[in-house]
Amino acid sequence: MNISFDYEYNGEDVFGKIYRPVAKVKFFSPVVNKQVDVWMIVDTGADHSILPRHLSEKLRISLEKDCIKEFTFGIGGSKNIYFCKKKIKVKLGNAERKVPIAFLDSNEVPALLGRLGFLETFDTQFLKSRKVVFRE
């Protein structure tokens, strides 16, 4: 089964138009009967799948009780990051998985679909036609 998404246009810079590979992922709250659809950047350079802080509230995940606090470093300096102690149920198209996720202590970051336990469970292609394709 193939699941595909068109890249998202993200404006222009001095080098030309920017398109990002994105995928719509449905996250299921482990606490209440609630799902949240999240458009995520498909990021082969990201070790972990990371969501902005506000999504922890929507999924009813307590950063203090349900997560392990660590620090992460990037271009913007260091930030607190909260790794969920339990894997979270998600759906990408019709494919269901239980995946590890983390929440960055900021709402100013895009959601990243990373490799560990998520992206690596698919054969993923980035097509020159500006599509990302996931194969089971």
Length in residues, the chain:
136
Residues ≥6 apart with Cβ < 8 Å to 110: 40, 41, 52
Residue 77 backbone class (left: φ over 0; alpha: ψ -120 to 50; beta: rest): left
pLDDT at 98: 97
pLDDT at 135: 96
Residues ≥6 apart with Cβ < 8 Å to 71: 78, 79, 80, 81
Read off the pLDDT of residues 81-98 as tens digits, 9 standing for 90 and up.
999 999 999 999 999 999
Architecture of domain 2-135: Beta Barrel (2.40)
pLDDT band per the 50, 70, 90 thresholds, residue 72: confident
Mean pLDDT of 35-57: 96
User: Nearest CA to 19 among 103, 100, 112, 128?
Assistant: 128
| Nearest-angstrom CA–CA distance, 26 and 92 | 7
Mean pLDDT of 20-46: 96
**pLDDT(78) > 80:** no
Domain boundaries, the chain: 2-135
Question: What is the percentage of the chain residues whose pLDDT exceeds 70?
Answer: 96
Phi and psi at residue 46, in whole multiples of 5°? -90, 125
pLDDT at 79: 83
Average pLDDT over the chain, rounded to whole? 94
pLDDT at 75: 63
User: Nearest CA to 99 among 109, 114, 111?
Assistant: 114
